[in-house]
Amino acid sequence: MATVGFLGVGGLASLLLRGLQGSGHRFVLSPRGAETAARLAAEFGCEVADSNQEVVDRAEAVFVSLPAATGADELARLTFRPGQPVLSAMAGTGLARLREVTGPARAVIGMMPGYANAYRLGPSILCPDDDFWRGFLAHIGPVHLFADERQFTAAATFGAFSGATVWWMAHLADWYAAQGIDPATARALVAGTLRGNAEVLLQEPRPLDEIARGVTTPGGITLQLLDHLDEKGALAAWHTGLEAILKRMSGGG
């Protein structure tokens, strides 16, 4: 297995390192955020380099989760080896810009939700396909491959969608708790319902619209709730919200 360097040791790196335990890879971390790097090194058996350049020099492959606003400029100050696998999870940094600042490395872009990857359940997306990174990400959940960067960018909005659904689940659990249900039971009820429905979508071969119609009885409580949500614009707001995220990630502000 390879030595993988992490440039950026924030929340995403912490969750991925947790999910990657047992993968056989070795990890070397950037020193930025010394306290966090030291904690991760102690918790996951990683090494901490003295500089970002040392991370690149010691690693066979480099995972980038630097701050999106400054990350590309930081990468431009480093020297990568020809063909060195580099994966960037910096939202908004396109493939052309990444390759410009990491050349002559073999650079690709990716996105993953983070928290679910700590449990090896979260999906990752990758553009374009890369043998090393496909195998690496497979340790932390299913990997979806994209050859078209525009399609990748649209799919990458699931990073925002993932985080928003956590807040949505918390909001629903709070409502059930407010009805007098034990908070732990409310949390389990919401999570279990959504996990069960997610498995239906993953395993049931029928078209999604057909499945949805099958759980919606005319005059029933599901239709009543859907009609209310639609009247309030709650369903359409998911589309317009994701469109705004896509515009931002595509460089449209």
Task: Give the per-residue pLDDT at 32.
Answer: 84
H or E segment and range at residue 72: helix 71-76
CA 117, CA 113: separation in Å to the nearest integer?
Answer: 7
Name the region of 114 (left: φ>0; alpha: ψ -120 to 50; beta: rest).
left
CA 3, CA 25: separation in Å to the nearest integer?
Answer: 6
Per-residue pLDDT of 102-138, as tens digits, reads: 999 999 999 999 999 999 999 999 999 999 999 999 9
- Is the model's pLDDT at 253 over the cut of 70? no
Cα angle, residue 173 at apex, residues 210 and 162 outer, rounded to 5°: 60
Class of residue 137 by CB neighbours under 10 A (exposed 0-12, middle 13-18, buried 19+): buried
Contact between 163 and 180 (Cβ < 8 Å)? no
Structural domains of the chain, with CATH:
3-149 (3.40.50.720), 158-249 (1.10.3730.10)
Mean pLDDT within 88-92: 93
Reported confidence tier of residue 33, pLDDT bands at 50, 70, 90: confident
Per-residue pLDDT of 3-21, as tens digits, reads: 999 999 999 999 999 999 9
For the entire predicted model, the pTM comes to 0.93
SS3 call for 131: helix
Mean pLDDT within 143-151: 98
CA 57, CA 54: separation in Å to the nearest integer?
Answer: 5
Task: Give the per-residue pLDDT at 162.
Answer: 96
Strand 85-88 and strand 106-111: the pairing is parallel
CA 194, CA 129: separation in Å to the nearest integer?
Answer: 30
Task: Give the per-residue pLDDT at 187.
Answer: 98
Per-residue pLDDT of 198-231, as tens digits, reads: 999 999 999 999 999 999 999 999 999 999 999 9
Which residues on adjacent β-strands are paired with residue 63?
6, 87
Mean pLDDT within 84-106: 96
Reported confidence tier of residue 1, pLDDT bands at 50, 70, 90: confident
